Chains A and B, each alone.
Chain A
Amino acid sequence: MVYPFNSDHEMIREALSGFLQDWYENGKGPERIYKSGKAFDREAWSGFSHDLGMVGVAISEDFGGSGLGDLGRVVVMEELGSSLCAIPFLTTGGQVVDIISKIATKQFKKEYLPKIARGEIQGVFSSGHVGKEKKCINSPNADTADFILISRLNDKLIEVVFLDASAPGLKINSKKTMDPTRSFCDVDWSQVSDTDFLLIGTVELDFFEGIISQSQIALAAECIGGAQKCLDMTLEYASQRVQFGRSIASFQAIKHRCADMFVLIEAARSAVYAAAVATDSEKTEAVLIAKANATEAYFKVAGDAIQLHGGIGFTWEYPLHLFFKRARANRTMFGVLSEDYKLLADNIFGDKL
């Protein structure tokens, strides 16, 4: 099954795309975020989470979500990608939900997942089990989170703990980013009292591979949403722009570049949908393929879109550079392209370099 959507998914897509389009057309698009200097659109978040109830798309129905899993999240991320809506769904509705769903006690899930689903609280995951220091560098969206899930080493075990963002001693340093619609923060919990951490569960190292894999699918879906939007904007622009007495969309040089953009997008789309429904044994590989192709396609298409728009595409006022910058950011999120292909090659050859 590679064309997997059912009526539930279509309903979500329609509701969300309608909401986001209004958002965009009412001058509340990402340009506003640039001016505000904060990578969090609180108003959009409230509409998205409270009015539309979308945060819990992948949360089980037992805990107040829609239970639509990776595939439901693909739909949401595609739409968010096409609008560049600055809300922390990828972190809260993604990693945080996945970690809690997999390892927390029933009681913890009962207490937190419904609140997350309703958008009352949101959190991020900050990985701290790799280095020796009690901090995480470049943790997305941590500056606006209500709580932080932290992974940390305790002897040879990896613990996942919960920390309220208001805990005394917690330092969250938000950095300026090239793509200002997603913040990166350094989270430092070295000065937080031990009693403020709440243990959620203990896991093996490969647990996080699964979590990252799910986030990679979501990220890849965002990429095809963004790339599609860039192509749509280009087609619209090219059909209206007249030079040499004809619409530039009638020139083969333009048509062929648009065709190439379409090929990249549809190829990546196939990979993303396939990854979302892949069986466990095929998942790792399918996700690597999806993530590598979608991030690559998005960046190429966003760049092409700027080129085909001519001068206007290069301006600060026109929104294309926002997509271009998001596409750039996604290229290095959850691993870089060459690493994806390295892992794939290791699989193919059954060895490592």
Chain B
Amino acid sequence: MSNLRINFSKWMKTHFCGEYECLRGRATPGDEDAFPGLRLKWEREMGTAGWIGIGWPTEYGGKGASLDEIVGFNEEYACHGGPGRAGHIGETLLAPTIIAFGTEQQKARYLPGIKAGTEFWCQGYSEPNAGSDLSNIKTKARLENNQWVISGQKIWTSLAMDSDYIFVLARADEGSKGRHGLVFLLVQLNQPGIKIRPIKQMSGTSEFNEVFFDEAVCSHDDIIGDVGDGWKIAMALLGFERGASTLGQQMTFADEFRQIVDLAKSNGSAKNPLIRQRIAKSYAGLKIMRFTALRTLEAAEKGETTKEGYISKIFWSSWHRDLGELAMDVMGNEAEILVNGEYSKLQKLFLFSRSDTIYGGTNQIQRNIIAERALEMPKEPRGGGTVREG
């Protein structure tokens, strides 16, 4: 076991207690409205102790932790029942992007806030008409008096209500189409030109939001890359998503799985042979997710490009949706009952997991991506303007 892991374990023991006790195992997707204030405080606690950005290079305040150490760190966090991380978009998605493509000024301005757990980010990609067809971005950005002026609408923005900043994919070249002419901008949310409206989901909660831009502004210096680089940067960022952060998510899954096993034991459904088979199968899937993530990460560390990473999204989303169904079957008729009039954790899991196979690239889009990139099959034909836009 690495020293880093041992130290982190000790730290969790002495710090994840007291007022934070109520966060244990909470704030997973579908439960994102749990204790918002306390969760942000917890992030600061982590940040102050230097536990955010451990994988970043030391010159940017990280610990330059190795893959093994990061995996161990995530496992330790989950073992102690740490809550869903409010800062993961900044830490695991935006920060690596800034480190790879950002200017020195941007690094100095934005990395410390992420690292300290004081500044939170959300992702402004999807739009009402740019869902699966993400490059159909309509949000406009124009340069005026050394400022980018942004107008348009983003949707399905996770955790926007708890965030300070948003990274925005916008169209800078009027008349440009698709992947061309896009910019990647870093924008403060708290300003007159931005309005956030939560979307109430079938889970009853609101992880997702609509974000409206009406002449919102950011500095000219807050563009990553150049005009026209937006698509490349946006995709590179998603590449980081498939990296180490999936291992943390798997820990949450493991926790949910364990809860279902415990329930099956206590309510007797563990005696049902079919339920047992499904639980075993689910467990196998959980392990396979981990093995596959490690394969990808190890290959990447050796500088090799491999293809198995393409299965990651469709595999975990389908697995998680099935887990939700399994949870309800384990609960039996009790699945229907709202205790205290509210959805329980497993009921939320069941309902929220219907979004897993949609957001971040639907399962159908994932199959296109696998077919076209991993299997090199012919690309889907692009529309020729025969469909009227609504």
State the Cβ distance, B355 to closest chain A Cβ, in Å: 20
Contact A348 B280 (CB under 8 A): yes
Contact A258 B375 (CB under 8 A): yes
* Total contacting residues, chain B, CB less than 8 A: 43
Interface: A338 (CB within 8 A): yes
State the Cβ distance, A265 to closest chain B Cβ, in Å: 9
Interface: A255 (CB within 8 A): yes
Q: Tell me the complex Cα distance, A345–B294, Å.
A: 24
Interface: B377 (CB within 8 A): yes
Which chain A residues border B130 with CB–CB below 8 Å? none
A258-B371, A263-B315, A349-B261 known; A250-B280 Cβ under 8 A = no
Contact B276 A342 (CB under 8 A): yes
Which residues of chain A in 253-274 are interfacial with respect to chain B, using CB atoms and an 8 Å cutoff?
254-256, 258-260, 262-263, 266-271, 273-274
Contact B370 A263 (CB under 8 A): yes
Task: Specify which of A2, A231, A289 is in contact with B295 (CB 8 Å cutoff).
Answer: A2
Interface: A302 (CB within 8 A): no
Q: Tell me the complex Cα distance, A268–B289, Å.
A: 10
Interface: A187 (CB within 8 A): no
Q: Tell me the complex Cα distance, A121–B23, Å.
A: 65
Contact B294 A2 (CB under 8 A): yes
Which chain B residues border A338 with CB–CB below 8 Å? 277
Which residues of chain A in 144-160 are interfacial with respect to chain B, using CB atoms and an 8 Å cutoff?
none
State the Cβ distance, A50 to closest chain B Cβ, in Å: 34
Q: Produce 1/0 per residue, B114-127, CB < 8 A to A.
A: 00000000000000
Which chain A residues border B377 with CB–CB below 8 Å? 235, 238-239, 249-250, 254-255, 258
State the Cβ distance, B344 to closest chain A Cβ, in Å: 22
Contact A267 B367 (CB under 8 A): no
Q: Tell me the complex Cα distance, A273–B287, Å.
A: 12
A2-B298, A238-B377, A341-B281 known; A271-B288 Cβ under 8 A = yes
Which chain B residues border A239 with CB–CB below 8 Å? 377
Nearest opposing residue in chain A for B370, CB measure: A259
Which residues of chain A in 227-262 are interfacial with respect to chain B, using CB atoms and an 8 Å cutoff?
231, 235, 238-239, 247, 249-250, 252, 254-256, 258-260, 262
Which chain B residues border A165 with CB–CB below 8 Å? none
Q: Tell me the complex Cα distance, A345–B261, Å.
A: 10
Task: Specify which of A252, A271, A348 is in contact with B261 (CB 8 Å cutoff).
Answer: A348
Contact A255 B367 (CB under 8 A): yes
Main secondary structure of the interface of B (DSSP, over half): helix
Which chain A residues border B294 with CB–CB below 8 Å? 2-3, 274
Which chain B residues border A247 with CB–CB below 8 Å? 378
Q: Produce 1/0 per residue, B11-31, CB < 8 A to A.
A: 000000000000000000000
* Total contacting residues, chain A, CB less than 8 A: 43
- Of A271, A292, A348, A351, the most chain B CB neighbours within 10 A belong to A348
Which chain A residues border B212 with CB–CB below 8 Å? none
Task: Specify which of A259, A293, A349 is in contact with B270 (CB 8 Å cutoff).
Answer: A349
Contact B284 A259 (CB under 8 A): no
Interface: B310 (CB within 8 A): yes
Contact A266 B270 (CB under 8 A): no
Contact A345 B280 (CB under 8 A): yes
Contact B378 A266 (CB under 8 A): no
Q: Tell me the complex Cα distance, A349–B268, Å.
A: 12
Which chain B residues border A11 with CB–CB below 8 Å? none
Which residues of chain B in 266-314 are interfacial with respect to chain A, using CB atoms and an 8 Å cutoff?
270-271, 273, 276-277, 279-281, 283-285, 287-288, 291-292, 294-295, 298-299, 302, 306-308, 310-311, 314
Contact B298 A344 (CB under 8 A): no
Contact A293 B291 (CB under 8 A): no
Which chain A residues border B298 with CB–CB below 8 Å? 1-3
Main secondary structure of the interface of A (DSSP, over half): helix
Which chain A residues border B302 with CB–CB below 8 Å? 3
State the Cβ distance, B367 to closest chain A Cβ, in Å: 4
Task: Specify which of A262, A271, A273, A274 is in contact with B310 (CB 8 Å cutoff).
Answer: A262
Task: Specify which of B283, B284, B288, B371 is in contact with A256 (CB 8 Å cutoff).
Answer: B371
Which chain A residues border B265 with CB–CB below 8 Å? 349
Which chain B residues border A273 with CB–CB below 8 Å? 291, 295
Which residues of chain A in 30-52 are interfacial with respect to chain B, using CB atoms and an 8 Å cutoff?
none
Which residues of chain B in 366-390 are interfacial with respect to chain A, using CB atoms and an 8 Å cutoff?
366-368, 370-372, 374-378, 380
Which chain A residues border B367 with CB–CB below 8 Å? 252, 255-256, 259-260
Interface: A286 (CB within 8 A): yes
Which residues of chain B in 235-271 are interfacial with respect to chain A, using CB atoms and an 8 Å cutoff?
261, 264-265, 270-271
Contact A249 B378 (CB under 8 A): yes
Which chain B residues border A269 with CB–CB below 8 Å? 308
Q: Tell me the complex Cα distance, A340–B261, Å.
A: 18
State the Cβ distance, A271 to closest chain B Cβ, in Å: 5
Contact B308 A345 (CB under 8 A): no
Nearest opposing residue in chain B for A260, CB measure: B367
Interface: B190 (CB within 8 A): no
Nearest opposing residue in chain A for B304, CB measure: A3
State the Cβ distance, B308 to closest chain A Cβ, in Å: 4
Q: Tell me the complex Cα distance, A213–B285, Å.
A: 20
Extra pairs beyond A267-B285, A353-B276 (5, CB < 8 Å):
A255-B378, A267-B292, A293-B284, A344-B280, A348-B261
Q: Which chain B residues have a beta carbon within 8 Å of chain A's beta carbons?
A: 261, 264-265, 270-271, 273, 276-277, 279-281, 283-285, 287-288, 291-292, 294-295, 298-299, 302, 306-308, 310-311, 314-315, 364, 366-368, 370-372, 374-378, 380
A-B contact pairs, 20 of them (CB 8 A): A3-B295, A3-B306, A255-B375, A259-B370, A263-B315, A263-B370, A267-B288, A268-B288, A270-B291, A271-B287, A274-B294, A292-B284, A293-B288, A340-B280, A341-B277, A341-B280, A344-B280, A349-B265, A351-B270, A353-B273
Question: Nearest 4 A-B pairs (CB), nearest first?
Answer: A255-B371, A344-B280, A259-B370, A259-B367
